Structure 1
């Protein structure tokens, strides 16, 4: 699972990244808001956002994140230790808030609590009349199993977890084929064609000249 950290204190940034990676997460870290904004839209399960940044207010970044990826979890951190920050953050819809200074383990516990609950809640994904049992790696339609190859299944899950986001062919190859595939990008088109045939009511739309997007209402 992917976590993005926005924290301008270099030492704290590095410590949080190291500890989260030890927990098994994939982590991107940013020292300012502008760099972080460029990553909005990439696969991300949780954002850790410092409110006080040198260039952009953390609340502004939060709004941009929620516009693009409303299902991503967010945790605010702040050195100001003021009740107003906590109130504003929670009213905006953040999932948690932690005041500096804090023990790294405390943040890890809060992150694990959010993401483990997320995994549990998403053990079965639904897309219209389709059901995807993630713990069994099986796809069903009206309780009848649809046969999927490993890559077809992985690509399907990638789309469902990144609904309403335009994904380039390069992004898809990097995440689903682990960047190891050296052949033509046509492999993406061919795999999507097979998924569309097996799941005709799933709205995977072509973004011409770029890639694809799964449209979920």
Structure 2
């Protein structure tokens, strides 16, 4: 999972990156708001924004994020205690506001909460389960090895169980913002379906897929 971090305190920036990468996240870190803005289409699943940063502040960047990503979690981290600033953050669509200084553990908990990060083993039926922690698909005593994109796709479908996962969302999350064709998405889906011992992924014509189990 890719995260965008905007924090102009280099030391805090590096500390957050180190902790999040240790948890297995990919982090693109920026000290400058304008540079962060230039990468918004890179398939991020979470944004962590400081407010008072050079060139484009966190609130302005939040507005621009919400023009493109209505549901992607945005966590504001700031030393500001001004009520109007906090109100603005929520009014423009942030999911939560962390007052500095804070424990990095708090940030990790919020990321897991808003991004539906799971660490359990999900039973898909017929002795088939998916281990979120190891990203392994287990069928009976057999472990089915998945490619990186296969893992990302199955993870996404399970996290959005019962909801339609659109082609656009698959492109953003599985291809991490890089362009791909519908043929490539369908080809990947065929490979995932072949590795499952039963049919549980429905096609929603011209829209995407939905997982039911």
TM interval, shorter chain, is 0.5 to 0.7
Distance 1:195 1:59 in 2: 37
SS at match of 2:110: helix
Per-residue CA distance 1:114-147 (angstroms, 9 max, x = gap): 2236x69xx9xxxxxxxxxx959xxxxxxxxxxx
CA RMSD of aligned residues (A): 4.0
- Do structure 1's residue 191 and structure 2's residue 184 form an aligned pair? yes
Alignment correspondent of 2:40: 40
Alignment correspondent of 2:11: 11
Following superposition, the deviation at residue 200 of structure 1 comes to 7.7
Alignment correspondent of 1:100: 100
Pick which of 57-66 and 105-114 moved more.
Answer: 105-114
Alignment correspondent of 1:146: none
Per-residue CA distance 1:45-67 (angstroms, 9 max, x = gap): 11000111111121110111111
Of the candidates 159, 166, 176, which is equivalent to residue 160 of structure 1? 166
Of the candidates 170, 178, 186, which is equivalent to residue 171 of structure 1? 178
Q: Structure 2: where are the runs of 5+ without partners?
A: 123-128, 132-145, 158-164, 191-201
Alignment correspondent of 1:57: 57
Do 2:7 and 2:50's aligned partners in 1 also have CA atoms closer than 8 Å? yes
Distance 1:43 1:193 in 2: 19
Distance 2:94 2:184 in 1: 36
TM-score (norm 1): 0.60
Per-residue CA distance 1:142-176 (angstroms, 9 max, x = gap): xxxxxxx97789679698374397899x9257xxx
Alignment correspondent of 1:130: none
SS at match of 2:107: helix
Per-residue CA distance 1:93-123 (angstroms, 9 max, x = gap): 2110011122222222222222236x69xx9
Distance 2:153 2:50 in 1: 33
Do 1:73 and 1:94's aligned partners in 2 also have CA atoms closer than 8 Å? yes
Do 1:4 and 1:27's aligned partners in 2 also have CA atoms closer than 8 Å? yes
Of the candidates 197, 205, 210, which is equivalent to residue 201 of structure 1? 205
Higher relative contact order, chain-length normalized (CA < 8 Å, sep 6+): 2
